[in-house]
Amino acid sequence: MTNPLSSISMTEIEKLIPNRFLLSVAVAKRARQLKEGYRPLIEITEENPNPILIALKEIELGKLDIAHDAIHDADNELLQRMELDLNHEVEQLEGGVADKKPDAKAKPKRRKTT
C-alpha cells in the first residue's frame, strides 16, 4: 500500500487556496490541532506521521473547509490601497502631482517595469 502523504500535489492545493499566507495559516492551525490529539480526516498508515503533511493532504483531498473569500477580498483591498499610496509617492518624487491625494476607489496605475 502506498503512503498517501508521499504524494501531495502543491499545484492542486494552490488551486484550492491560491493565497499562500492563508494556506500557511490553515496548515499551521490544523497541524497544531493534530498535535493536540484531534483525529486525522484521512487514513494514516505510517507511524509518527508529520502533522503538516497530514494537514496538506487533508486540504488537497477537500476534507477541510477553509473560508477564504472574505480574507482574500480584504487582502486585495489592502494591496490596492497600498499600491495607490505607492503610486502617489512615486509621482510626488518624480515631480508629477504634488498635493493630489489618491482616490481609494480608483484603480491603481501600473508601473512600468524595465
Residues 68-103 pLDDT 10s: 555 566 667 777 788 888 888 888 888 755 455 555
With pLDDT > 90 as the criterion, what percentage of the chain qualifies? 28
Q: What confidence score (pLDDT) does residue 1 get?
A: 47
The rounded mean pLDDT for the chain is: 79
Predicted model pTM: 0.56
Q: What confidence score (pLDDT) does residue 85 get?
A: 86
Phi, psi at residue 39, to the nearest 5°? -80, 140
H helices present in 1-114, as ranges: 10-16, 20-35, 51-60, 69-93
Return the residue matching grid coordinates 503610486: 87
Q: Which amino acid is at 45?
A: T
Q: Which amino acid is at 83?
A: E
